[in-house]
Amino acid sequence: MKHTPIVRRGFVAIAALSIALFAACTTTVDTVERAEPAGTRQAVDDHRITTDRSLSRILEVRAVNEATVSNDLLRVQVELRNTRRGLRRFNYQFEWFDDEGMIIQQATTPWRSLPMEGGEIATITGVAPNPRVTDFRLKLMSSTR
């Protein structure tokens, strides 16, 4: 079967569109930072409980830092990296505990969404709801949308 020039142009257009769509699906983020950071981080030794092996292969926890704000509220920053190519969405939630290890109930502790491009490094921050908080737990899960 012989293809006419119009049909050939259609094949070329479809091929070009397919390549462009594939390239758009594999967006990554490059970052640049100081080789020797000027700020001093208060790193936290963390204990990780992994129940979703696929999430742990996609999302890397790079660092956990804490500080105090307003002289009495615990602030936590967690640095995450999307190890895959392309956009991924994650949900996270902080839980807060007092000095006896009891969870401090909040009226609402919403899950927050975090979209991250491939290779992107993002920092999420949580601030304790009151001065009685001495510890925290960060919960992470893959987003379905």
**Spatial strand order in the sheet of 88-97:** 112-116, 88-97, 135-142
**What pLDDT shows up at residue 13?**
59
Beta-carbon contacts of residue 51 (< 8 Å; ≥ 6 apart): none
- Residue 41 contacts residue 123 (beta carbons within 8 Å): no
**What pLDDT shows up at residue 19?**
58
**What pLDDT shows up at residue 42?**
67
The more confidently predicted of residues 91 and 15 is 91
Q: Which long-range contacts (CB under 8 A, 24 or more apart) does 105-112 make?
A: 111/141
Neighbouring C-beta atoms of residue 80, cutoff 10 Å: 21
Q: Give the pTM.
A: 0.70
**What pLDDT shows up at residue 49?**
67
The more confidently predicted of residues 14 and 104 is 104
Band (pLDDT 50/70/90 cuts) for residue 117 is very high
- Residue 90 contacts residue 111 (beta carbons within 8 Å): no
Integer CA distances (angstroms), 110 to 2, 22, 95, 116, 144, in order: 61, 34, 10, 19, 16
pLDDT tens by residue, 39-97? 666 667 766 666 677 888 899 999 999 999 988 999 999 999 999 999 999 999 999 99
Q: What distance in Å separates the CA atoms of residue 35 and residue 9, rounded to the nearest whole number?
A: 50
Chain centroid to CA 139: 11
Within 13 Å and on the Cβ side, how many CA atoms surround 36?
Answer: 0
Q: Which CATH entry fits the domain spanning 1-145: 2.60.40.3230, 3.40.50.360, 3.30.56.10, 3.30.930.10? A: 2.60.40.3230
**What pLDDT shows up at residue 75?**
95
Q: State yes or no: pLDDT of 18 exceeds 90.
A: no
Domain assignments of the chain as residue spans, ordered by start: 1-145
**What pLDDT shows up at residue 66?**
92
